[in-house]
Amino acid sequence: METFAGAPGSDGDVAVLTEIVAGFESVEAALTAAQVAEVRLLARAGRLAEHQAAGAPVRVRAHDMALRSIAAEVGGVLRVTDRTVQMRIGEARDLVETWGATLTAWETGRITRGHTRLIADVGGIVPAARRAEFEVEAIERCSRDTPNRVRPGLEILAERLSERSFTERHRDAAAGRCVRVVAARDGMSDVVATVPTVIADGILDRLTQQARAVIDARDADEADAPPDLRTVDQVRTDVFTDLLLSGAPALDPTAHGDAPGALGAIRAQVQVVVPALTLLGSDDGPADLIGRSPIDADTARCLAAHAPTWARVLTDPVEGTVLAVDRYSTPWRQRRYLQARDQHCRFPGCRRPALRCDVDHTVDAATGGPTALGNLAHLCRRHHSLKHHTRWRVRQRGGGVLEWTSPTGRTYREDAPTPTVHFLPDVLPTVIPAVVAVSEPAPF
Ligand SMILES: [Zn+2]
């Protein structure tokens, strides 16, 4: 550990602090230079994809394939998924091609990365003709204060320069409506729906009214029933999940006259890995919701208990490779085995659950590739088409190991994930049919 000469609080200490602060200054400059260089490289990668696709008969699709392939190549080096790289390429191109003066201000240290993001984000609504005007003013304000403090002023400025009405902007914003799940801690997740404000308020109001009705009804219940002590928040959440998991949408294009449509009959599917000891109840370790995050042992056991059929997979305790699968008819057995072996898409870094993937022939069946375990692997739609339409190549090296080769010749070894046992229940207490996987070492 470093020791400092001189008495505590002396001039010697001030000299050391001066040196540390100067160090930060030069590190900050080096970081900025590296980050700006990365932004420029990402933007170049995006332009290269566009160039590659020029002249292709189906330009939009060709551009997307070229971009995916390049993003996967860059992702391999940066060790992030190609989806992430593709998003960052989009942001980088926006900065380089639309916000040049802002990028220069960042590069020369007038503003920071946070300011740069803020200007590009808030300035999105400013029409091209007035962008330069906005940029000059925004950079000036950013150079004097932190991003959080400048944001409100910049939002007002952008609003003033924007020629579009609130109605027009709302129409665009509503086109970006979406639902996503964000993993939280302790086996919980947030379901986030971005919807028009009036719909959001309506949803909360209906849930609240329904929750109050549930609470009123329970007061009238017979006395010998176990007491329902749920809070309004809890009941509201239970009604919300119940409606979404078991309800049928009012507008169902598959309905004929008064006959109900097919949408209400569709059941949710999730894919879970449970360690064998947890299943037996001798261990309370968490199970794994494939592609997401851990779930608690009780939920995992509940899922497994309601699985009418399942295939057990024995695994080598040392190598971890799959040794045997319980008896099933061949196609089923093969599919179960593959789901147990792969668990998720087998492109490097991808975690899309096998349940939502295609089974791909590594060597195409049309060119003589057999429908055998050593020639099959799960790929999500995105990576399935990447394999077929770009210069990414894959080989099977035995034992479920896949070797991917990028267009520039870099190779990535993709080992099979921890082997597992699979269940395929039809119905759960909470109407979630699921694929449950149990990892279990071989008994020797
Ligand atoms: Zn994938």
Q: What are the pLDDT digits (tens) for 334-364?
A: 777 788 788 889 999 898 888 888 889 999 8
How far does the centroid of ligand 1 lie from the alpha carbon of residue 351, in Å? 7
How far does the centroid of ligand 1 lie from the alpha carbon of residue 321, in Å? 22
How far does the centroid of ligand 1 lie from the alpha carbon of residue 67, in Å? 15
How far does the centroid of ligand 1 lie from the alpha carbon of residue 395, in Å? 16
Confidence of residue 305 (pLDDT cuts 50, 70, 90): low
Other beta carbons less than 10 A from residue 15's beta carbon: 13
Q: Please state the rounded mean pLDDT for residues 122-131.
A: 92
How far does the centroid of ligand 1 lie from the alpha carbon of residue 275, in Å? 24
Handedness of CA 364, 369, 375, 376 (dihedral sign): positive
How far does the centroid of ligand 1 lie from the alpha carbon of residue 329, in Å? 28
The separation between CA 244 and the C-alpha centre of its own chain, rounded to angstroms, equals 21
- pTM here? 0.65
Domain layout of the chain by residue ranges = 11-162, 177-221+229-246, 270-439
Q: Which residues, 6+ apart, have CB-to-CB distance to 10 below 8 Å?
A: none
Res 313 pLDDT > 60: no
How far does the centroid of ligand 1 lie from the alpha carbon of residue 436, in Å? 20
How far does the centroid of ligand 1 lie from the alpha carbon of residue 168, in Å? 36
Res 370 pLDDT > 50: yes
How far does the centroid of ligand 1 lie from the alpha carbon of residue 180, in Å? 18
Residues, Cβ < 5 Å to ion ligand 1 = 345, 347, 350, 352, 380, 383
Rama region for 335: left / alpha / beta (φ>0; ψ in -120 to 50; rest): alpha
- Alpha-carbon distance of 211 to 203, in angstroms, equals 12
- Range name among 66-80, 187-201, 215-229, 310-324 with the lowest pLDDT average: 310-324
Structure tokens at 301: 């056991």
More confident residue, 104 or 431: 104
Confidence of residue 394 (pLDDT cuts 50, 70, 90): very high
**What does the pLDDT read at residue 362?**
92
How far does the centroid of ligand 1 lie from the alpha carbon of residue 412, in Å? 14
**What does the pLDDT read at residue 201?**
95
How far does the centroid of ligand 1 lie from the alpha carbon of residue 385, in Å? 10
Res 311 pLDDT > 60: no
How far does the centroid of ligand 1 lie from the alpha carbon of residue 60, in Å? 21
How far does the centroid of ligand 1 lie from the alpha carbon of residue 206, in Å? 38
How far does the centroid of ligand 1 lie from the alpha carbon of residue 360, in Å? 12
How far does the centroid of ligand 1 lie from the alpha carbon of residue 392, in Å? 13
**What does the pLDDT read at residue 270?**
67
How far does the centroid of ligand 1 lie from the alpha carbon of residue 259, in Å? 38
How far does the centroid of ligand 1 lie from the alpha carbon of residue 415, in Å? 14
How far does the centroid of ligand 1 lie from the alpha carbon of residue 82, in Å? 9
Q: Enter the DSSP assignment of 262.
A: S
- Alpha-carbon distance of 364 to 368, in angstroms, equals 7
Confidence of residue 384 (pLDDT cuts 50, 70, 90): very high
How far does the centroid of ligand 1 lie from the alpha carbon of residue 79, in Å? 15
Structure tokens at 250: 């009012």
How far does the centroid of ligand 1 lie from the alpha carbon of residue 244, in Å? 27
Strands (E) in 63-188, as ranges, are 178-183
Q: Which residues are 97's β-sheet partners?
A: none
Structure tokens at 57: 């008969």
How far does the centroid of ligand 1 lie from the alpha carbon of residue 136, in Å? 42
Res 89 pLDDT > 70: yes
Distances (CA, A) of 360 to 35, 162, 364, 365: 38, 49, 8, 9
Other beta carbons less than 10 A from residue 438's beta carbon: 26
How far does the centroid of ligand 1 lie from the alpha carbon of residue 380, in Å? 4
Confidence of residue 75 (pLDDT cuts 50, 70, 90): very high
How far does the centroid of ligand 1 lie from the alpha carbon of residue 21, in Å? 45
Taking only the tens place, the pLDDT of each residue in 258-299 is: 777 777 777 776 666 666 666 666 667 666 666 667 777 777
Nearest to 240 by CA among 196, 198, 205, 268: 205
How far does the centroid of ligand 1 lie from the alpha carbon of residue 389, in Å? 14
SS3 72: helix
How far does the centroid of ligand 1 lie from the alpha carbon of residue 257, in Å? 40
How far does the centroid of ligand 1 lie from the alpha carbon of residue 318, in Å? 28
How far does the centroid of ligand 1 lie from the alpha carbon of residue 266, in Å? 24
